[in-house]
A = this chain, B = another copy of it.
Amino acid sequence: MFPLNQWYVAGFIWELQDKPLARTLLNHPVVMFRGPDGGVAALEDRCCHRSVPLSCGMLEGGGIRCGYHGLLYAPSGQCIEIPGQLKIPGKACVKPYQVAVRNQIIWIWLGQDAAGEPPEIAAHDNPHYRYKGGAFHYQAPYQLIHDNLLDLSHVGYVHTRTIGGNAKTHMEAPTQVSSDGHHVRVVRRMPASQPPATYSAAWPFKGLIDRWQEIDFHVSHLNIFTGAVDAGTESLDDPQRGGFHMRGFHGITPETETTTHYFWTMACSTHPDAPDNLETVYQQTAATFEEDRVIIESQYRNMRQFPGAGMIDIHVDAGANRARRIIDALNAQAQQAA
Using a CB–CB distance below 8 Å, which chain A residues touch chain B? 24, 29, 45-46, 48-53, 56, 65-71, 82-85, 89, 91-92, 147, 151, 153-154, 156-158, 167-168, 170-173, 295, 298-299, 301-303, 305-306, 309-316
Q: Name 13 interchain pairs, CB-CB below 8 A, sorted by A.
A: A46-B302, A46-B305, A49-B313, A50-B311, A51-B303, A51-B309, A67-B157, A69-B154, A70-B156, A82-B314, A84-B172, A85-B315, A89-B312
**A85 to B170 CA separation, bound complex (whole angstroms):** 12
B171 touches A56 (CB 8 A): no
List the B residue with the shortest CB-CB distance to A69.
B154
**Distance between Cα atoms of A50 and B67 in the complex (Å):** 46
Task: Collect the chain B residues with CB atoms within 8 Å of residue A71's CB.
Answer: 314
How many copies of this chain are found per oligomer? 3
Look across to chain B and name the residue whose beta carbon is closest to the beta carbon of A291.
B67
Closest Cβ neighbor of A144 among chain B residues: B50
Check A84 against B315 for contact (C-beta < 8 Å): yes
Contact residues in B for A173 (Cβ distance below 8 Å): 84
A157 to chain B minimum Cβ distance, whole angstroms, is 5
Report the bound CA distance from A310 to B46 in whole Å: 11
Separation in Å of the A173 CB from the closest CB of chain B? 8
Provide the residues of chain B in CB contact with A298, threshold 8 Å. Answer: 52-53, 56
Q: What residues of B have a CB within 8 angstroms of the CB of A303 in the complex?
A: 51
- A198 to B303, alpha carbons, bound, how many Å? 47
Bound: A311/B49 CA distance, A: 5
Are B299 and A52 within 8 A (Cβ)? yes
A158: contacting residue among B48, B50, B68, B84, CB under 8 A: B68
**In the bound complex, do residue A48 and residue B312 qualify as a contact, i.e. CB atoms below 8 Å apart?**
yes
Indicate whether A157 sits within 8 Å of B312 (C-beta atoms), given known contacts A53-B302, A56-B295: no
